[in-house]
Amino acid sequence: MRYIRPLVQTDPARPEGALTLAGGWCWFDRVEVLRREAAPELLPASALQEDELARLTAPRFPVAGLTMDVPRIMAILNVTPDSFSDGGQHEGRELANALALAEVADILDIGGESTRPGAVEVSVIEELSRVVPVVEALRAKGCATPISLDTRKAEVARAGLAAGADMVNDVSAMLFDPAIAGATADAGAPICLMHAQGSPETMQDDPRYTDVLLDVYDHLAERVAAAEAAGIARERVVVDPGIGFGKTMTHNLALLSRLSLFHALGCPVLLGVSRKGFIGKLAGEEVAAERMPGSLALAVLAAGQGVQLLRVHDARETRQGLRLAAAQWGM
């Protein structure tokens, strides 16, 4: 099997014949062909097979009503006491903080269960009590910003979607609770499928891969196929390589350096790196809340690789950074 990674560009000097990536703001005219047990090979895009080209160039369908022709900001709202960066900070202020985020973000991602390394599972009842009231209150206030549910559980997904949420963001890619596929399909909602090795309790103990880039790609390809089998059309699937979920710093950097490979799945790509531990290690910043500059740098770099959805804590700062980058890209 060969894996096709477009060498993505945003340079204004676009050569004749270059192809638009996923109907968005980037282009490519060459690809890197990857194989297991073989050296990478560079080819002109014109050498690709028709189906390979189609996966890379077909415009992505809107996600939760958002077109995928510009980078979109997904603002994190953790209504939990123990999330690694902002746990407990929203207690008693969930609605006010959510409304403020909705003014600058394209979509809100509301989660009631921490999945940080070492986190323990939260009961369905507890997670429901944290998430659903916030969704209901936002809609009661007239907030029209799309809402994503950061959950692994079918009951939470079903109740949250019924309360007015638009999307499911499952860090287990429907493996923790397979019934979440049916809940999502029944609602006609999009779902984000993330790669994770192991559970939050143990995922950072000793993660290992044969080839992290290709292993993560294959896993996501399998989970996209599982979503389709469950009645969720590929056009409603988003993929996330799961930076920091069962991965060492070396694994994270390998994924980020060839991030554009995941466009070959034919789905919008989401990246969540905001304030994560490897940023702190590289930048020498132990306090998670002080890692905004590094998080912003990676968000802009990811957008330059055509990533459509950026899951961030610092929505306002990310918006400013993307505006500056977009001006250079002619957007």
CATH number of this structure's domain 60-329: 3.20.20.20
Quote the pLDDT of residue 44: 98
Task: Count CB atoms within 10 A of the CB of residue 328.
Answer: 12
- What is the chain's percent helix, strand, coil content, to nearest 5? 40, 20, 45
Quote the pLDDT of residue 331: 87
Per the structure block, which two tokens stand in for 124? 């369905």
The pLDDT of residue 83 is above 60: no
Quote the pLDDT of residue 264: 98
Q: DSSP states of 214-280 as a string?
A: HHHHHHHHHHHHHHHHTT--GGGEEEE--TTSS--HHHHHHHHHTGGGGGGGSS-BEE--TT-HHHH
pLDDT in tens, 131-178: 999 999 999 999 999 999 999 999 999 999 999 999 999 999 999 999
Residues belonging to the active site: 276, 311
Sequence spans of domains, the chain: 60-329
Quote the pLDDT of residue 92: 55
Per the structure block, which two tokens stand in for 79? 């209504």
pLDDT in tens, 254-274: 999 999 999 999 999 999 999
By the 8 A CB rule, do 59 and 41 touch? no
Quote the pLDDT of residue 184: 98
Query: What's the farthest any 2 CA atoms get from each other in the chain?
Result: 57
Q: DSSP states of 115-183 as a string?
A: -STTPPPPPHHHHHHHHHHHHHHHHHTT--S-EEEE-S-HHHHHHHHHHT--EEEETTTTSS-THHHHH
pLDDT in tens, 10-59: 999 999 999 999 999 999 999 999 999 999 999 999 999 999 999 999 99
Q: Calculate the alpha carbon distances from 78 to 123, 126, 131, 163, 266 in Å.
A: 16, 14, 9, 18, 29
Quote the pLDDT of residue 201: 65
Per the structure block, which two tokens stand in for 149? 């549910």
The pLDDT of residue 203 is above 90: no
Quote the pLDDT of residue 246: 92
Quote the pLDDT of residue 54: 97
Quote the pLDDT of residue 85: 42
Task: Count CB atoms within 10 A of the CB of residue 186.
Answer: 12
By the 8 A CB rule, do 3 and 217 touch? yes
The pLDDT of residue 82 is above 60: no
114-118, 172-176, 285-289: segment of lowest average pLDDT: 114-118
Residues in the chain: 331
Average pLDDT of every residue of the chain? 93
The pLDDT of residue 323 is above 90: yes
Q: What are phi and psi of 30, to 5 degrees?
A: -135, 160
CA distance 20 to 29: 9
Helix/strand number for the chain, H first, E second:
10, 13
Closest listed residue to residue 79, CA positions, set 130, 123, 124:
130
Closest listed residue to residue 33, CA positions, set 1, 77, 74:
1
CA distance 14 to 31: 15
By the 8 A CB rule, do 74 and 106 touch? yes
The pLDDT of residue 87 is above 70: no
Please, which pLDDT band fits residue 88 given cuts at 50, 70 and 90? very low
